[in-house]
Amino acid sequence: AAGVIQSPRHLIKEKRETATLKCYPIPRHDTVYWYQQGPGQDPQFLISFYEKMQSDKGSIPDRFSAQQFSDYHSELNMSSLELGDSALYFCASSLAGNYGYTFGSGTRLTVV
């Protein structure tokens, strides 16, 4: 069965650079969520989209932005990267009105 696809799996960037993470939800899922998990930390919700519109916003820094496209994939854009942005970034997708959601395998971002 198709899962949530995230790309790239690993990314190394230098401070002040920009990064773009991509998330491809399960087919027919209309909602995408982004999470950040720093080393040894709890996962933190960043932002979510439903039907290409932002539906909820968590602890997402102003340097980050995200959007959901017409094919329901989502991109998380991160600018002016800081060392503290090094983390595992998960996305999850769901079908609104349904139960549960499926996580991708994550993108590990390392800022050096």
- DSSP letter for 83, please: G
Q: Could you tell me which of 56, 51, 46 has the C-alpha nearest to residue 107?
A: 46
CB 78 within 8 A of CB 19: yes
Q: Mask of contacts with another protein, 63-82, x by CB under 8 A?
A: --------------------
Contact flags string 24-53 toward another protein, x per CB under 8 A: -------x-x---x--x-xx-x--x-x---
Q: Please state, in angstroms and rounded to a whole number, the distance separating the CA atoms of residues 60 and 67.
A: 13
- Pick 37 or 79: Cβ nearer another protein: 37
- From CA 11, how far away is CA 100, in angstroms rounded? 28
Residue 104 binds another protein, judged by CB under 8 A:
yes
Per CB under 8 A, residues contacting another protein are 31, 33, 37, 40, 42-43, 45, 48, 50, 55-56, 88, 90, 96-97, 99-106, 108
